[in-house]
Amino acid sequence: MKDYYYFLGVSANSSDEEIKKAYRKLSLKYHPDKTDNDEFFENRFREVQEAYETLSNHDSRKIYDANFSLPKQNTRNNLPPYIKTFSANKIRVKKGEEVIITWQTQNADVVKILPFGLEKSYGERTFKITEFVDGKFQILLHAMNSSVQKTVVKGITIIEVFENDREKIKSEVQDLLKPQKKSARNPSGSPKIFRYLLIVFILIMLLFFVLNNF
């Protein structure tokens, strides 16, 4: 049987009001009119609708609990939830660039990844970031064991990189490498030691950008 409580992101002992509140929030979030008919969100919307139709009715919920939820609670793991892994293949991206996140949780029966919604206890997801807030995009993984009412959270922050970032760094390096005008303090016309140190620093930053984006 399907776990309707999992679909709504609530525990089996949630009140009718809590179930209704969760349904309203998720139905708005996953509604096809707001998600450009994305297949992932369409499936989530159907799951939420199906779950609410069963759990919002007192009689159908009672039958559902007797056949599924209550027996499951007797065998449910009572250990606290744990996030084994949660990572992204890159943390510096341009707007519209694909990012792949992977995760694996343990002892969790409700797993949410914000801003996407309910997910399996482990998996992989590919998406594109179209909007950043102050140059950042935050992803949060919530792993909950509803049996012991404990939740752990882990986050990933993706930083926005602009098209001209690499070119700007290259240009600065080239300017620094140009011979300087001769002066009393710099008779050879070559960069001083602090300029060499600055060049090394910029080269390290350039290497960091390359490794995180390729």
CA distance 53 to 76: 25
Q: Tell me the CA end-to-end span of the chain in Å, nearest whole number.
A: 43
Confidence (pTM): 0.48
Contact at 8 Å (CB) between 208 and 91? no
HSE-CB for 212 with a 13 A CA cutoff: 17
CA distance 90 to 102: 11
pLDDT value, residue 5:
84
Chain centre distance of CA 5: 22
C-alpha distance from residue 90 to each of 94, 106, 167 (Å): 11, 24, 20
pLDDT value, residue 89:
93
pLDDT value, residue 111:
87
Q: Which residues of the chain have pLDDT under 50?
A: 70-75, 190
Q: Where are the domains of the chain?
A: 1-75, 77-161, 165-213
Reported in sequence order, the residue ranges of 13-121 that DSSP labels E, i.e. its strands, are 82-88, 92-93, 98-106, 110-114, 117-119
CATH superfamily of 1-75: DnaJ domain (1.10.287.110)
pLDDT value, residue 71:
47
Residue 112 has which token pair? 């949410």
What single DSSP character describes residue 66?
I
pLDDT value, residue 1:
58
Residue 67 has which token pair? 């056949």
Contact at 8 Å (CB) between 93 and 161? yes
- Second CATH level (architecture) for the domain 77-161: Sandwich (2.60)
Number of Cβ within 10 Å of residue 16's Cβ equals: 12
pLDDT value, residue 157:
94
pLDDT value, residue 137:
93
Q: Which residue has the tokens 């001083």?
A: 192
Chain centre distance of CA 9: 17
